[in-house]
Amino acid sequence: MKPIGLVLILLIIGIFVLWIWATKRKRGVAPIKTNGVQIFNILVKGVYAPNVIRAKFGLPIQINFKREEDTDCSRYVNFPDWHIRKELPQGQTVTIKIPADRKGTFSFMCDMSMYQGKLIIE
């Protein structure tokens, strides 16, 4: 093999490794974007799945919680930074709207903080 071929292969491997590193570095699930709204779907079953979500500043956020369990622990979800507390009736989808009006990492949790999630706005 000519040296130029080897260099090219190494370059391609290098770009691939960088690309993996860059994508892995970002924590959190990205939204589905529809009409300028950032939509997330979170399943409540033992945990919040996903429990880290990542949104962009400025675009309204809509989080659809679906609680598929009957434990009392997860019955309410709280977003203290927006003074939101909502009941999640079993088997129903409950939509929580959050204005992406500040940047940072914000926690959401059940009443007892046993279930924990993070909303990152950047």
DSSP string, 39-69: EEEEEEESEEES-EEEE-TTS-EEEEEEE--
DSSP 3-state assignment of 8? helix
Segment interacting with Cu ion (CB under 5 A) among 21-29, 41-49, 65-73, 84-92: 65-73
114 touches Cu ion (CB under 5 A): yes
Residue 6: φ, ψ to 5°: -65, -45
109 touches Cu ion (CB under 5 A): no
The residue among 73 and 94 lying less far from Cu ion, judged by its C-beta, is: 73
Binders in 4-43 for Cu ion, by CB under 5 A: none
Residue 106: φ, ψ to 5°: -120, 135
Q: How far is the CB of 63 from Cu ion (least distance, A)?
A: 17
Q: Which of 42, 53, 110, 119 binds Cu ion (CB under 5 A)?
A: 110
47 touches Cu ion (CB under 5 A): no
CB-CB contact of 93 with 40 (8 Å): no
Binding site for Cu ion (CB under 5 A): 73, 110, 112, 114
